[in-house]
């Protein structure tokens, strides 16, 4: 039986390209997003079998139901990638922008992680992949909720890994993907970006990390250097950046 993967948030950017990569490697792919019409266009280009579902992570109850339905339709699933995310620069701290990051990146992510965890525990094997961010390393004034929500994702994934190890689930893996700047719709108006990767390059590196069952990986790899510097910079310097 071939391998199967679900990618939550696959209508554009990293998720879309990751769907292409998995499909090219003969994975059956399950894809979710709010913009189903984009999933339908993507589906036409995929060489392997695929399933698509509407999902809006702002509605956690519905998203949990949809994920269960998709798993049932696919028969079983080996990997669940929680890619969907939201965030906007918010220098004057508008509540709606902060709420968007919290609703999708915290509540939405957790609803999917809990569902995936319980499914893989029942199956006694599987792989949960979360897309956090280099922004999880250090707070940033222009988008405080976004960085905080990505830090939540990283910490939550570490908690799941600890849970699986503690309870002897040796065949359940957890991977935390920390992308730097990637050229997507979310970042297209950001004039502060450097070391920008294409979504295709990012997706290929993410695929390799998942197959290698890495615990944590920076995308692209050079962002590990930036993360190290961000961690050690004293506040009086970091606060001036």
pLDDT in tens, 7-51: 999 999 999 999 999 999 999 999 999 999 999 999 999 999 999
As assigned by CATH, the class of the 4-238 domain is: alpha beta
Tell me which of 204 and 237 has the higher pLDDT.
Answer: 204
Helix axes of 60-74 and 109-123: crossing angle, nearest 10 degrees: 30
* CA–CA distance, 232 with 81 (Å, rounded to integer): 30
For 153-200, how does the pLDDT look when each residue is reduced to its tens digit (9 = 90+)?
999 999 999 999 999 999 999 999 999 877 765 555 555 555 578 889
Nearest C-alpha neighbor of 6 from the set 103, 109, 83? 83
Mean pLDDT of the chain: 90
pTM > 0.85? yes
Token pair, residue 227, equals: 């993360």
Q: Which residues pair with 127 in a beta bridge?
A: 79, 173
> Where exactly are the structural domains of the chain?
4-238
| Contact criterion met (CB below 8 Å) for 29 and 42 | no
Task: Give the percent of the chain with pLDDT over 70.
Answer: 90
Token pair, residue 199, equals: 């979504």
Q: What is the mean pLDDT of residues 132-148?
A: 84
CA-only gyration radius of the chain, Å: 17
């Amino acid at each position: 039986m071939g391998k199967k993967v679900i990618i939550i948030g696959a209508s554009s950017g990293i998720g879309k390209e990751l769907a292409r990569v998995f499909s090219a490697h003969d994975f059956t792919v399950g894809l979710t997003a709010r913009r189903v019409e984009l999933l339908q266009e993507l589906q036409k280009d995929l060489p392997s079998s695929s399933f698509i579902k509407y999902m809006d992570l702002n509605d956690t109850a519905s998203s949990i139901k949809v994920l269960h339905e998709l798993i049932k339709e696919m028969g079983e699933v080996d990997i669940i990638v929680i890619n969907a995310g939201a965030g906007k620069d918010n220098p004057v701290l508008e509540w709606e922008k902060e709420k968007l990051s919290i609703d999708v990146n915290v509540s939405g992510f957790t609803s999917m992680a809990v569902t995936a965890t319980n499914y893989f525990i029942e199956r006694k094997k599987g792989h949960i992949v979360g897309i956090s961010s280099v922004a999880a390393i250090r707070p940033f004034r222009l988008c405080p909720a976004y960085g905080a929500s990505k830090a939540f994702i990283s910490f939550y994934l570490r908690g799941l890994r600890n849970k699986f190890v503690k309870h002897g689930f040796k065949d359940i893996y957890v991977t935390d993907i920390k992308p730097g700047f990637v050229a997507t719709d979310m970042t297209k108006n950001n004039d502060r970006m450097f070391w920008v990767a294409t979504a295709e390059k990012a997706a290929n590196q993410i695929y390799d990390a998942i197959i290698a069952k890495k615990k944590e990986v920076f995308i692209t790899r050079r962002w590990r250097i930036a993360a190290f510097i961000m961690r050690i910079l004293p506040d009086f310097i970091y606060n001036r950046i």
